[in-house]
């Protein structure tokens, strides 16, 4: 639960600061195209970040709901993609079923998932990031040359 709270605050601050930076950067685009879209995008990001920071519980539920919908939609997409794929069909179907299962679990257990999902995803991301950095560090320069 602590990791979930930290995740919500990090996402809230990052979103708000990104919105403020995008708003400030949009004034450098006044004479060029894209000024109004940058202003609108920056304002929306800043408001969303401020909302998450002022209501962290609601923000955690909204982020968890977004993760559940993402799992569900990516599972459906992989399953649909598997029917048109010539190779790797079984792997796509298996991956799609796992994503669908995660999506159903999160969407139908939103209360329990809100307390643990964001922290769990943060832990998995940190673990995978560390493992990938270790694997990159093990590659020798002569293997990189080709």
Instruction: Using the CB atoms, write b or e for 23-61: b if 16+ within 10 Å.
Output: beebeeeeeeeeeeebbebbeebbebbebbbeebeebbb
pTM: 0.74
Tens-digit pLDDT profile for the chain (146 aa)? 788 888 899 999 999 999 999 999 998 888 888 888 999 999 999 999 999 999 999 999 998 999 999 999 998 998 998 888 888 788 888 888 988 998 898 899 988 888 888 888 878 878 878 887 787 776 655 655 55
Q: Are 125 and 117 in contact (CB under 8 A)?
A: no
Give ∠ CA 107-109-112 in degrees, rounded to 5.
Answer: 130
Angle between helices 2-26 and 35-54 (to 10 degrees): 150
């Amino acid at each position: 639960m602590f990791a979930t709270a930290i995740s919500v605050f990090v996402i809230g601050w990052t979103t708000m600061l990104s919105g403020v930076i995008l708003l400030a950067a949009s004034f450098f685009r006044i004479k060029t195209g894209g000024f109004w879209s940058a202003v609108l995008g920056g304002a929306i990001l800043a408001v969303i970040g401020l909302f998450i920071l002022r209501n962290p519980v609601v923000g955690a539920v909204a982020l968890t709901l977004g993760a559940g919908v993402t799992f569900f939609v990516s599972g459906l997409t992989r399953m649909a993609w598997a029917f048109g794929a010539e190779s790797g069909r079984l792997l796509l179907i298996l991956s799609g079923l796992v994503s669908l299962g995660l999506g159903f679990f999160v969407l139908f257990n939103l209360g329990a998932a809100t307390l643990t999902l964001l922290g769990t995803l943060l832990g998995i991301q940190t673990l995978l990031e560390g493992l990938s950095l270790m694997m990159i560090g093990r590659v020798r320069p002569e293997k990189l040359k080709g």
